Amino acid sequence: MRALVQRVTKASVAVDGETAGEIGPGLVVLLGVSKEDDEADAEYLVEKTANLRVFADDENRFNRSALDIGAEVLVVSQFTLYAETRKGRRPDFNQAAGPEDAKRLYEHTVRLFRDKGLKVATGRFQEHMLVSLENDGPVTLMLDSADRQRPRRS
């Protein structure tokens, strides 16, 4: 699974001109699911995201996490995070999970964020969405559950 995480002052997602979800200060999580992902990938990304220290403390240092400050989270399904663009000009989405598996893992991920006690809003799975956000910093980080399998650099 991949998550593009953005620290925001506010964010919303609309479907057919209607607000589907909105948050105040917190994190927008654009979530991509690959064919190889399972519940362990979701658990890793939720744990990592909820505990990332990307919010400022009193000394303006990145020392607080979403859990520390009670941040809100907007989770939006984003299969395009698995686009392959090395060859040609048209993105290839063959590594993205099919709709059934992707929806199951997306919904599982949303439940895991809620189980952490975070206020969670969502978009609508497999719908055309308009996402509006005010990136704070800007702070934008890419997380990939495959990283847990890779050795750390020394």
Task: Give me the helix-helix angle, 39-51 and 99-115, nearest 10°.
Answer: 40
Rounded distance between C-alpha atoms, residue 42 and residue 46, angstroms:
6
* Catalytic position from the list 9, 19, 49, 80: 80
Asked if 50 and 66 touch (Cβ cutoff 8 Å), the reply is: yes
Q: Is 80 a catalytic residue?
A: yes
Neighbours of 139 (CB within 10 A): 15
Collapsed DSSP state (helix, strand, coil) of residue 1: coil
Residues identified as active-site: 80
